[in-house]
Structure 1
Amino acid sequence: MKLPRFAHLTTLLLLFAVGLLLSACHQDEPQPWQLTNISGHMPDLSFRLTNDEGKTVTADDYRGKVTLLYFGYTHCPDVCPLTMAQLHVVMQRLGKLADGASILFVSVDPNRDTPAVLHEYVKAFDPHAVGLTGSPADIEALTKRYRAAFTREAGKSDGSYDVSHSSGIYVFDGNGKARLLATPEDAQDKLVHDLHLLLGPGSAP
């Protein structure tokens, strides 16, 4: 029995329409993250530095925890203390989940930020924070690895100086995989939301 005229064309059009609907549904699927998703665009967490207790540590020492990596320095007049204070509030809002996270504050001013100075600084903000320092070459290599930047400004008459630096917060999962990037423009709620996904039961893949 022959199909009616245009039956083949109708069938093809129907299949095409279904395909468009499925494609639209796939595109409209809500994404779990509220921050910028950098999965697959940044390398795994990797470093060898000195922590604020004077011990040599590597990224492996923080495996199993969600890690927030931030580049700053203790003499920073504004953005660093504001960021650290914000992260403290985020940790408080996470409650017990915060025990599964670490804040790594990497100094871009290793000449002044000794382990002792870093320890006093980071612990004044949050117990989950760890100060990290190293040689200028080590710090430069790490910032380049994550496409961050810093520049020492010209010294002032009193011998002090400022360091301009990137202000992003890099979030790595418990396996050391780069997952998210938070910026100063991002609302605190976004970071809390996404950390809940990474830290909570059935953590986001």
Structure 2
Amino acid sequence: MILRPTLAALFLLCAPLSAAGVGEGFSLPSTTGTRITPEALRGAPYLLFFGYTNCPDVCPMALSDLSFRIEELGADAEALKVVFVTVDPGRDTIAHLREYLGYFDSRFIGLSGNAEETAEIAAAFRATYAKGEATGDYYTMDHTAAIYLMDSKGEYFGHVDYRAEPEEQLRALRALLDAEAAR
């Protein structure tokens, strides 16, 4: 009997068991025109979210919420990067990601690699994803929906659920920025 993970089970898998090694060992093309690696992201705290542009609900909601949280942080958010990693590289080209992310915030960075690179970054963040049921050419993707909080050293600081209340999301982002300011 083959067990297919449910979306709820994938959400439960979003929290890394240990912070050691989270976010290490990946390299993907980005909407900035360069390859993004953990080293390239060091120097500023960042948020990372897995998703795909054809997502009917979770991804646009999460990106919209992040856009609002960034706006609420004001000048404090200037040092914060937001990275969106597609789990559907077959449909989400760099050009398509750039256009899509521009609807939320032009500063958001999109990553889209080949299947191997996508699996590599998902493993680096202990994220999961799987192609959902297909109807003709249409299909969905099940995926981890946590917003990863990474510090300027590239170390895992924590995560916040995309479904968290705005105040909880804002507290998490402020905690990350406050920890950076205290260094």
- Name the TM-score, length of structure 1 as normaliser: 0.75
The reply to whether residue 182 of structure 1 matches residue 160 of structure 2 is yes
- Tell me what 2:140 maps to: 162
How do residues 94-173 of structure 1 correspond to structure 2 at under 5 angstroms? 94-157=73-136, 159-173=137-151
How do residues 1-205 of structure 1 correspond to structure 2 at under 5 angstroms? 41-46=19-24, 47-157=26-136, 159-200=137-178, 203-204=181-182
- Residue correspondences, number: 169
Greater Cα offset, 101-110 or 126-135: 126-135
Would you identify which runs of 4 or more consecutive aligned residues in structure 1 move more than 4 Å?
A: 37-40
The answer (yes or no) to whether the contact 1:48–1:58 under 8 Å persists in 2 is yes
Structure 1: tracts of 5 or more residues without a match: 1-36
> Residue type matched to 1:117 in 2?
H
Q: Structure 1 residue 112: deviation in Å?
A: 0.7
Q: Distance in 2 between matches of 1:62 and 1:145?
A: 14
The answer (yes or no) to whether the contact 1:42–1:146 under 8 Å persists in 2 is no
The answer (yes or no) to whether the contact 2:16–2:125 under 8 Å persists in 1 is no
The answer (yes or no) to whether the contact 2:150–2:158 under 8 Å persists in 1 is yes
Q: Distance in 1 between matches of 2:67 and 2:91?
A: 24
Distance change (3 Å), C-alpha of 1:71 and 1:58: same
The answer (yes or no) to whether the contact 2:69–2:170 under 8 Å persists in 1 is yes
Structure 2: tracts of 5 or more residues without a match: 1-14
